Structure 1
Amino acid sequence: MKSVKYLVALLITTVCLYVAFRGVNLGRAWSIVTDQDRIRLLPLAAFSAISLGVMWIRGWRWKYLFQSEHHATVNGLTTANLIGFTTNNILPLRIGELVRALVARRKVEGPMSYVLASLVIERIFDSICLLLCLVIPLAYTESFPPAILKIAQVMLYLLAGAVVLLILLGNKPHTAEKAVVKLTGLLLPARFHEKVKGFMGMFTEGMKVLRKKDVLVKVSVLSVLHWGAVVFSFRLAFAGFSFDSLPWTSPFLTLGIVGMGVALPSAPAFIGPIHWAIIFSLHTAYGLPNDDAAALAVVMHILMMVPVTVAGLIAMAREGMTFGQLRYGAEHLDEAAEPEQVSVQTD
């Protein structure tokens, strides 16, 4: 099964890289990157710094998804974010989300199922914000190419679905729990069914945090702050390449399509999909030459990934963790009889 996943990720990465850089004059793209009259280092440095800084905002937001008795801290959850994202940047098969849960479980006094529930909530808020990034440009731009309009149309439906799902999880968590338990009872052996039943009980408790209006407001505000900072950082990256003629909506649309791209299975560090997303959005929607967009995509990718990865490696060293331990913990997460007992293997 793993070999199939590896092959699928490799195939998607290869296809995305081919489509993204097909027809690109690599010599001209390199000349753009090395053009001292064109490249502005300060905006690019700020873009890179914000890419790292938003990890702290994510930790701040994540803290509000836990109860007070869990004693969650912003620094502890930021550490979990850094290590999780670093794992995605270096190891295959996207186990970073499970790693985030494993590290967070060491930082909070709560069961693993509750931690995983908080990640589900977090991802729903992220999805809503990214979908809004695709919708906003449509309200302020008279026309887009058909390919962009089709993507936006699909995203509108997904946005509506994400909002409905958030409402249902907040107001009817037990309904979702009963549905999952009943379904697994029909499909799985009794011993696995009991594990799922116990897991879903605590998972449902985690979803109940959405009923608290103050939590909902705080998480919503911090989600907007987080993704607003990312949009601003994209604008800075564009300015760093002197792409000043791009409209103010361009970082919104680019970020929205990047969000779609990185959801695809791929090689570590989202190689392929992220390059395709940046080049496709800027060239197709705004007419930026392929060579220019390709140069920007490569530099943005490096400036986004390197600071987070370095910080994550430092965090791993401080926590005494290795990639082998994290991989082991992620692979055995679903094999534990009690989810809250799963931890990083340190032997």
Structure 2
Amino acid sequence: MHGRRVSSTSKPLFFRSRSYRYIALAANAAFLALLSYWLSTNVDVSNLQKHLQQIPASAIIVGMMMNAAVLMCFGARLAAILDARISACFLITVTGMTFNGLLPFRLGEGAKLYCGGAFFQLPIGGLGAAIVMEKLYDLSILLLLLAALSTSKHLPFINVGSPQILALAAAAGLGALLIYRTRVAGLEHLSRRAILEKFGLGRILEQARVLLARQKLILPASLTLLIWSANLSLVLFFFRVVVPEIHFGVLDAMTLLVIASLAIAIPASPAGLGVLEAGIAVYLTNVHGIQTEKAITAAAAYHLVILLPHSVITAAFLAWRFPLSKWTQPSLTRISGE
């Protein structure tokens, strides 16, 4: 009974409007068309193919294995926040990442809510609060990386020693502590508002309050550091192998990790497609003097490494949850009955 209520609550949150899906698909198609046009007019396709063939298959395979380990850390962090099974949280995480890769405007976060509620009977309010906490953890690390890079001249669009970036990084940590200290009383009072109860939001806020009331920060914060360290190691390994002719150090890896994170966070394109490649290619060509086609192929190969593992896992998971027999068997039964 409880699982049915959670599922019904989660369904309207995910793909609520059919027209909104069509708008998202149209935005994808328009963006991909513009990207294809730019590539056809600015890039030598034959040279691009030559550089693609030169990328070692071992770099792709090892990179995907490293990314799979990162995905497991993401699942472990969500499990630590929710106090839930790691396997369930791992599948929720990769499903959200995959739908973020297919759809713009970060609609994959809605997929995480739907997956957690419909498949694993997790409370939507608690899962929503956990997703927000994940973003706060990642934002804090990202701001700290920006603060570190602002003093190293590796990000020319940020003033060296920018106090604004340092202040933002400090504010993120203080804000997280403030939310942690005031979480229970504020949400408990808010969840009892009559207007929220009328629209069924009071229960969701109460679920979020319960999650925050028993939240421990040390383990999720430690896993966040592990996630970003593993991602940094992946970037460092991959680009050292793919572009061995340049000196690619830790600061370079930090810069590309920041560029990739910001590109993926931009809601205008699915999985930062095109934006990520452009950001990495601009850095490699301007800072290290790499040929444009080679920089684009290296960026595209890295994007494949971080995109394919969770996409394959999600496809297998959805195929297991919705086997073909579930769709074909009813029609065959009706035909045999007739």
TM over 0.5: yes
Structure 1 stretch displaced more, 105-114 or 291-300? 105-114
Which secondary structure does the structure 1 equivalent of 2:82 belong to? coil
Q: Tell me the distance in 2 between the aligned counterparts of 1:132 and 1:247.
A: 18
Q: CA RMSD in A?
A: 3.5
Distance 1:73 1:264, change over 3 A: same
Which secondary structure does the structure 1 equivalent of 2:266 belong to? coil
Contact 2:136 2:172 in 1 (8 A): yes
Q: 2:11 corresponds to which residue? A: none
Amino acid aligned to 1:273: V
Distance 1:32 1:11, change over 3 A: same
Distance 1:145 1:257, change over 3 A: closer
Alpha-carbon shift at residue 282 of structure 1 (Å)? 2.9
Residue deviations 1:93-142, cap 9 Å, x none?
Answer: 53221222222235656421011111111111122223333333344x3x
TM-score by length of 1: 0.74
Contact 1:65 1:209 in 2 (8 A): no
Which secondary structure does the structure 2 equivalent of 1:126 belong to? helix
Q: 1:233 corresponds to which residue? A: 234
Alpha-carbon shift at residue 270 of structure 1 (Å)? 2.7
Q: 1:173 corresponds to which residue? A: 183
Alpha-carbon shift at residue 54 of structure 1 (Å)? 1.5
Q: 2:13 corresponds to which residue? A: none
Q: Tell me the distance in 2 between the aligned counterparts of 1:292 and 1:205.
A: 51
Q: Tell me the distance in 1 between the aligned counterparts of 2:77 and 2:85.
A: 10
Which secondary structure does the structure 1 equivalent of 2:200 belong to? helix
Contact 1:278 1:297 in 2 (8 A): yes
Tell me which of 43, 52, 61 is aligned to 2:59.
43
Q: Tell me the distance in 2 between the aligned counterparts of 1:268 and 1:261.
A: 10
Which secondary structure does the structure 2 equivalent of 1:245 belong to? coil
Q: Tell me the distance in 2 between the aligned counterparts of 1:319 and 1:111.
A: 20
Distance 1:131 1:209, change over 3 A: farther
Q: Tell me the distance in 1 between the aligned counterparts of 2:189 and 2:73.
A: 34
Distance 1:63 1:107, change over 3 A: farther
Is 1:309 aligned to 2:311, yes or no?
Answer: yes
Distance 1:12 1:164, change over 3 A: farther
Amino acid aligned to 2:142: L
TM-score by length of 2: 0.76
Is 1:29 aligned to 2:34, yes or no?
Answer: no
Q: Tell me the distance in 2 between the aligned counterparts of 1:170 and 1:21.
A: 51
Tell me which of 80, 95, 99 is aligned to 2:92.
80
Amino acid aligned to 2:169: L
Amino acid aligned to 1:80: I
Distance 1:162 1:287, change over 3 A: farther
Contact 1:24 1:291 in 2 (8 A): yes
Point out which structure has higher relative CO (alpha carbons under 8 A, 6+ apart). Answer: 1
Amino acid aligned to 2:47: R
Amino acid aligned to 2:57: L
Q: Tell me the distance in 1 between the aligned counterparts of 2:179 and 2:323.
A: 34
Alpha-carbon shift at residue 78 of structure 1 (Å)? 0.9
Q: 1:332 corresponds to which residue? A: none
Distance 1:132 1:10, change over 3 A: farther
Q: 2:284 corresponds to which residue? A: 282
Residue deviations 1:254-299, cap 9 Å, x none?
Answer: 1112111111123433312221222233334444443322111111
Amino acid aligned to 1:125: Y
Alpha-carbon shift at residue 163 of structure 1 (Å)? 1.9
Q: Tell me the distance in 2 between the aligned counterparts of 1:181 and 1:4.
A: 33
Distance 1:201 1:233, change over 3 A: same
**Count of aligned pairs:** 305
Is 1:200 aligned to 2:205, yes or no?
Answer: yes
Contact 1:134 1:155 in 2 (8 A): yes
Distance 1:152 1:278, change over 3 A: farther
Amino acid aligned to 1:195: G
Tell me which of 126, 131, 137 is aligned to 2:138.
126
Which secondary structure does the structure 2 equivalent of 1:198 belong to? helix
Which runs of structure 2 are paired with 1:315-330 in the superposition (5 Å)? 315-320=317-322
